[in-house]
Amino acid sequence: MIIVIFGPVAAGKTTIAKSLKEHLEGSFLVSSDQFKKRVYKRLIREVRELRGEVDYLIVDGTFYKRRWREELRAAAEDEEILEVLINCSIGTCVKRNRERSKPVPEAAIHAIYKEFERPKHFDLEIDAENLAPEEAVRRIMDLINRISE
């Protein structure tokens, strides 16, 4: 199964993805934070190479363009995909970004938030503004367990 965790910059995606990895035996995490250039091309290549090789491939990135999500789905071929949208307000994203050790330029956060192409389809939406990461992981795990039954 491929679990895509996506949403605005500094919404809490990576925190949730890392915690999810700790809870899912047989999981592997690929994050946009690992790449400096050609981020989505490289993430999608990782999906092509790793699909079917691990029980759970967790993919963490903003994926704010619809076409990137579509390319990822195509790269997954017939592997099951779980799409988890992590969402919160621009104010929370800016505040959390300021608390990072390596913050993203604030103008970039505003631009990406404004350009975010909300998906028509996703399997789960997490309100990261009002939900602790542990509760977000619990909800994702519950969904995975229901799908796996």
Query: Tell me: the pLDDT tens digits for 57-110?
Result: 999 999 999 999 999 999 999 899 999 999 999 999 999 999 999 899 999 999
Give the largest CA-CA distance in the chain.
44
- pTM exceeding the 0.85 threshold for the entire prediction: yes
pLDDT band at 34 (very low <50, low <70, confident <90, very high): confident
Domains of the chain: 2-148 (3.40.50.300)
Distance separating alpha carbons of residues 124 and 139, to the nearest angstrom: 9
Helices (H), 3-132: 13-23, 39-50, 66-76, 90-98, 106-115
Percent of the chain with pLDDT over 90: 89
**Which residue has 């309100």 as its token pair?**
127
Q: Where is pLDDT greater, at 89 or 148?
A: 89
Q: What is the mean pLDDT of residues 26-35?
A: 91
